[in-house]
Structure 1
Amino acid sequence: MAAVQEVLAAAVSDHRAVLDGLGEPTSAGFDVLLHSPALTIFAAHWTPQMNLLPHNHEMAALIGIYTGREDNILWRDEPEGLRAHSAACLFEGDVVALPVDAIHSVSNPLQRFTGGIHIYDGDFFATERSQWNPETLAREPSDGDTIRAMFARENERRAGQCGGPA
């Protein structure tokens, strides 16, 4: 993954070229670029002011931002419950590596879309993982279908705010 991180960092360092190649995000979701049992690569799009609750991936991940900003809170699952332990703001051109055991929540604080290239060393969509309720921090099951449903709800929320399609 270290070599892949170097390639991703080089790519998003010219974030305008990535944006030109992938297009401006217009809705919450994923543009899947590669999907196999060993590797998943997609462009993720966060709507303005979108929030994703704490979740894990159960695999190593690389995230490179090519437009907008992604704010992360990093969490630890401790015996007394989930606890925030650090934060990181990713701007255009930034790359972060998340280890297999990472738990994070994600926010787009901007009034415009954020886009990032996400690379996972496994099948992101078929892997069972966990998410934590944002109010109670109770652990809940999650998988690709759960994540897709969150993005669909976000597009519905945005359509309601804008008075039309997302």
Structure 2
Amino acid sequence: MNTENFYGKEESTDRVMLLENGYFSGLVRMQMIQEARHTIDIAYFSIGKGRSSDLLMGALFEAADRGIRIRVLLDGISHGLKGKRKNVLYALAFHNNIELKYYEPFTIFKPWTWHNRLHDKIIVVDGQLGIIGGRNMGDKYLASQPDKNFVYDRDVLIYN
């Protein structure tokens, strides 16, 4: 592989910041959503239970209400919005400014859908800010007071 062609000859204006702290990473997500001007694209394996995911989902709905175009891609099985949280799915599906899609929903007669999972955790705002990393949405990843089930992970904020 020719790495010279991969890296290019010009310096990029893109910058990155490592987000080690889960709570801070959640605050950055919230600020990105609140300051969005045109679009929000998210892809998540799971949106878990807890106040942090409720706040982030509320911010998404507020953004959609103010005219921001939102596209949501969730894992077809493990997205976490089942049972009592199914109302969130309905609200996402029926909002005029939100497009909801599933990656590989489980289909009994399509065995390849049983194990193909969308394990991404990505949010991109206005094509200018993005977070990619290992954290799903939920208190298990983003709480200010981590409990015994807290997952220590990291994300990267990419901004231009």
- The TM-score normalised by the length of structure 1 is 0.27
Task: Say which structure is richer in helix.
Answer: 2
Question: Rg bigger for which structure?
Answer: 2
- The TM-score normalised by the length of structure 2 is 0.28
Task: Say which structure is richer in strand.
Answer: 1
